[in-house]
Amino acid sequence: MTEQFVENLETILGRERIFRNEMMKNHTTFRVGGPADILIQPKGEEVGKIIKLCRQEGVPYCVIGNGSNLLVGDKGVRGVVIELASREASIRITGNTIQAEAGAMLSKVANAAAEAGFTGMEFAAGIPGTVGGAIVMNAGAYGGEIKDVLVSVRVIDEYGDAKELPAEALGLSYRKSNIPENRTIVTEAVIRLATGERQEIFDKMNDFKEQRREKQPLEYPSAGSTFKRPEGHFAGKLIMDAGLRGYQVGGARVSDKHCGFVINCGDAAASDICRLMQDVTEEVERQFGITLEPEVKLLGEF
C-alpha cells in the first residue's frame, strides 16, 4: 500500500477517521485480533468512493459492523478494514417503515420501533450487532429474525456503485445470506413493522434481555453462539453432553454458564479460540457423529 493511496484516502475521509496499525481487538466483542493495516470509519456516500479507490489501486478491503460475530486472526488484517458501526448512523421512521443506515445498532432500531409503537423488532433488543451485520448474518432470536421484517436494502457493489435490492434477492436463511462476503456492502435497510401496543413491546424486549442475562455469559467477551444450531440439536447441549463444559485452551474457554458460547476469560489469542473450536468440533463429532459448523466469521491472518 503506497503513501499516495493513504493520501487519496485522506482526501475522501479527512485524517480523523483513518487509523493505521489499529488493533482489531479494540473493534471486536471477543476482544481478540491483531493489527489492521488501515481501519477507516466512512459515512454515507464515502463508502462507494473508498471501494472505487481500493479497486483502482488493487488494495484488499473488508467490512465490519460492530465486530460481534467476528474472530480476527492474531496477525491482523491486510489492506483496509471498513468499519460501519456508528452512533451517528441515522434511523428514520415514516409510517410503519424504518429506514436505517447499516451502521446503526440493532438495539437502537428496536428501541426506536418500540417508542413509535411498532412490533416485529423485539427479537433484536439484546443482539449487539449493527443493521448491516444482522442482514448479512440474518440475525435472529426468540422466534424472530431480520428476514421477517426486512423489505429492501441499499448496497454498494464490488465496483463501488450503489444498488437497491429487495429482501427476497438476499437468500436469507438460518444465519445466512447470499451477500458476497466482503465484496458487497450493505449501506441502508428498509424495515416494515406492524402496529402494536407500546408497553407490551417494551415488556417483551425486557423479558428477552432478562433471559439473556440469566442464560448467557454476558460478563465475558465473546462473539455470541460460536457454532450454528445443527438440524434437530442444540450446539450448547451437544458440547455439554460431550463433557466439554469449562474446557479451556489458553485464555479461551467453553462457558460454564452456556456451553454454546466460547468466552475470552483472560487475554485469549485467536489461535487459542481456533484450537478450542477445533477440539470441540472433533470431540462432538467423535461422540455423536454430528459436525458443528462455526457461526462466527473468521477474518484476517491467523
Ligand X SMILES: Cc1cc2nc3c(=O)[nH]c(=O)nc-3n(C[C@H](O)[C@H](O)[C@H](O)COP(=O)(O)OP(=O)(O)OC[C@H]3O[C@@H](n4cnc5c(N)ncnc54)[C@H](O)[C@@H]3O)c2cc1C
Least distance in angstroms from the C-beta of 175 to ligand X: 6
State how far the Cα of 183 lies from the Cα of 157, in Å rounded to an integer: 7
With CB under 6 A as the contact rule, the residue among 68, 107, 111, 281 that binds ligand X is: 68
**Residues assigned a catalytic role:** 175, 225, 295
- Residues of the chain by 3-state class (helix, strand, coil), percent to 5: 30, 30, 40
* Stretch of residues binding ligand X (CB under 6 A), selected from 52-60, 215-223, 229-237, 280-288: 215-223
102 binds ligand X (CB under 6 A): yes
State how far the Cα of 40 lies from the Cα of 29, in Å rounded to an integer: 18
- The residue behind cell 458487497 is 184
Distance in Å from the first CA to the final CA of the chain = 21
70 binds ligand X (CB under 6 A): yes
What nine digits make up the cell of 215?
442464560
177 binds ligand X (CB under 6 A): no
CA-to-CA separations, 240 to 50, 125, 255, 258, 287, in angstroms, rounded: 45, 27, 10, 9, 12
Identify which of residues 117 and 183 has a Cβ nearer to ligand X in the complex: 183
Least distance in angstroms from the C-beta of 287 to ligand X: 26
Identify which of residues 198 and 237 has a Cβ nearer to ligand X in the complex: 237
Q: Which residues make Cβ contacts (< 8 Å) with residue 6, sequence separation at least 6?
A: 18, 20, 38
Least distance in angstroms from the C-beta of 2 to ligand X: 25
48 binds ligand X (CB under 6 A): no
Contact residues: ligand X, CB under 6 A: 29, 62-70, 84, 102, 127-130, 132-134, 136-137, 139-141, 179, 181-182, 185-186, 216, 218, 222-224, 297
